[in-house]
C-alpha cells in the first residue's frame, strides 16, 4: 500500500512511519527539516528492507509546497492511507499570544491537512477506497490554559474530520480523527516531566495501524488516547 505521512521525521509521525514500514508498505514522507527527514528515510529503509521509503522536504504551511509534495506523491500512485500529522504548538492565551499565532496555527494545523487531502481526494474517490487519519489532539475536545490558537486550530481540524467523514462515506473512503493526550516526544524532553507519566509515541502509532487494518465495512471514527493517570 502507498502510505503518505506528513511531519514524519520525528515524534508521533516517525512512530507511525515505523509501524507501516515494518508491515512492508511503500512510504512517502515529508517534514520541514531536510536533514532529519533524510535521516529518518535512511533509518527506516535500513531497518525494514522489504518496504520502500521516500522523502521530500515540504513546509505544508505553504500552498506551493503542498502542491509540489502532492504532485510528487501522485507521480507514483494514489495514496491508500494519508496521515495528516504535520503540526505546530505556539504557547499562549488569546489575549497575550504572539501576533499571527492564530494564522500560523491554522496554516500548519488545519489548512495543510485540508489542502493536501483535497489534492488526493479525486483519485481516492474514483478508486472508491482510501483512509485518511487526521492527528488532532485532546485540545480538540476541551480548552486548556495556555492553549490559545493551538486549541482553536485543533478544534477546527476535528470539525474538518467530521465533515469529511460524512462526505466520503458514499465513496468508500474512511476518515479517522486521532485525539492523543500527552505523549513523550522531543517537545517534552526538556519539560522535566517524568517520561513514565506520558504515553509513548508508539502507542498512537499502534492504534492507527490497527484501525487501518479493519474490513472495508468498519471505520474507527475517533481514536482518543490519554496517559493512564489522565491529562497533564
Which residues belong to the active site? 150
Packing angle between helix 112-127 and helix 148-168, nearest 10 degrees?
10
Amino acid at each position: 500500500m502507498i502510505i503518505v505521512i506528513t511531519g514524519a521525521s520525528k515524534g508521533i509521525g516517525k512512530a507511525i512511519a515505523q509501524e507501516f514500514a515494518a508491515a512492508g508498505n511503500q512510504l512517502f514522507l515529508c517534514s520541514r527539516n531536510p536533514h532529519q527527514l533524510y535521516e529518518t528515510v535512511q533509518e527506516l529503509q535500513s531497518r525494514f528492507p522489504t518496504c520502500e521509503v521516500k522523502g521530500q522536504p515540504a513546509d505544508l504551511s505553504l500552498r506551493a509546497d503542498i502542491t509540489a509534495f502532492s504532485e510528487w506523491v501522485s507521480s507514483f500512485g494514489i495514496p491508500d492511507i494519508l496521515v495528516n500529522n504535520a503540526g505546530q504548538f505556539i504557547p499562549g492565551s488569546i489575549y497575550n499570544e504572539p501576533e499571527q499565532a492564530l494564522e500560523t496555527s491554522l496554516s500548519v494545523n488545519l489548512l495543510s491537512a485540508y489542502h493536501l487531502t483535497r489534492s488526493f481526494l479525486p483519485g481516492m474517490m474514483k478508486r472508491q477506497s482510501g483512509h485518511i487519519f487526521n492527528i488532532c489532539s485532546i485540545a480538540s475536545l476541551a480548552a486548556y490554559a495556555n492553549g490559545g490558537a493551538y486549541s482553536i486550530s485543533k478544534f477546527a481540524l476535528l470539525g474538518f474530520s467530521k465533515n469529511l467523514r460524512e462526505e466520503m462515506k458514499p465513496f468508500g473512503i474512511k476518515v479517522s480523527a486521532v485525539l492523543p493526550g500527552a505523549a513523550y516526544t522531543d517537545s517534552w524532553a526538556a519539560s522535566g516531566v517524568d517520561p513514565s507519566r506520558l504515553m509513548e509515541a508508539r502507542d498512537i502509532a499502534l492504534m492507527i495501524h490497527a484501525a487501518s487494518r479493519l474490513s472495508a465495512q468498519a471505520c474507527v471514527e475517533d481514536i482518543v488516547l490519554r496517559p493512564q493517570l489522565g491529562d497533564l
